[in-house]
């Protein structure tokens, strides 16, 4: 994931059944694997970045929603994009906190999160540009577009940091 490289062991490999882990390793890591929530993710850089993204998306949505609209299609697109991004970021945040990625190993979670950020950032950038162009100096619409651009920048930072961690993890694991 984006907060460090971890090896996830499954019960079966291509070479036959996996050997049981040594008793010393199982007893020393049992406390961290048995916890329901990952308390360290709250304080990690990736966790705080996700919270900042969600807050900026929510402020942008509320600013546009409570303003008089001049162009229905532009601002409805902006609202849909901000809410979809907010829900997906919240989904990945909850997934990291409750360590769902350890239980569902059939999904490449770093790739899924990277693709979400790639597509969501492009759509958010388009929505923010259109919202800024159609704002006509109405303060709520300008504020919504500004927070949309802020969320776009935060999404780019998050996407870059997760890609950077993935590349470093792959190159050092050899």
Please give the average per-residue pLDDT across 80-90, as a whole number. 97
Residue 33 — pLDDT band, cuts 50, 70, 90? low
Separation in Å, CA 6 to CA 40, 99, 102, 165, 173: 15, 12, 10, 12, 11
Note the pLDDT of residue 28: 41
Note the pLDDT of residue 8: 52
Indicate the Cα dihedral angle 14, 20, 22, 23, nearest 10°.
160
Residue 16 — pLDDT band, cuts 50, 70, 90? very low
Q: Kindly tell me if the per-residue pLDDT of 83 is higher than 90.
A: yes
Please give the average per-residue pLDDT across 11-34, as a whole number. 47
**Global pTM value:** 0.74
Query: Worst-scoring range by mean pLDDT, 32-36, 140-144, 145-149?
Result: 32-36
CB neighbour burial string for 46-75, b if at least 16 within 10 angstroms, e if fewer = bbebbeebbebbebbbbbbeebebeeeebb
Residue 30 — pLDDT band, cuts 50, 70, 90? very low
Note the pLDDT of residue 14: 46
Please give the average per-residue pLDDT across 131-159, as a whole number. 94
Q: What is the mean pLDDT of the chain?
A: 82
Note the pLDDT of residue 29: 43
């Amino acid at each position: 994931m984006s907060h460090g490289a971890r090896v996830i062991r499954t019960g079966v490999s291509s070479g036959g059944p996996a050997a049981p882990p040594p008793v010393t390793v199982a007893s020393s890591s049992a406390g961290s694997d048995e916890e329901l929530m990952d308390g360290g993710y709250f304080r990690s850089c990736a966790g705080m970045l996700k919270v900042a993204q969600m807050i900026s998306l929510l402020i942008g949505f509320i600013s546009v929603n409570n303003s008089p609209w001049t162009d229905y299609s532009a601002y409805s697109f902006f609202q849909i994009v901000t809410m979809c991004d907010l829900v997906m970021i919240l989904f990945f945040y909850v997934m990291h906190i409750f360590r769902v990625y350890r239980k569902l190993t059939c999904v490449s979670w770093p790739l899924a999160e990277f693709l979400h950020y790639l597509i969501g950032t492009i759509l958010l950038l388009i929505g923010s540009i259109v919202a800024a162009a159609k704002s006509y100096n109405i303060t709520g619409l300008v504020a919504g577009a500004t927070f949309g651009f802020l969320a776009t920048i935060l999404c780019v930072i998050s996407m870059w940091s997760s890609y950077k961690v993935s590349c470093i993890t792959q190159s050092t694991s050899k």
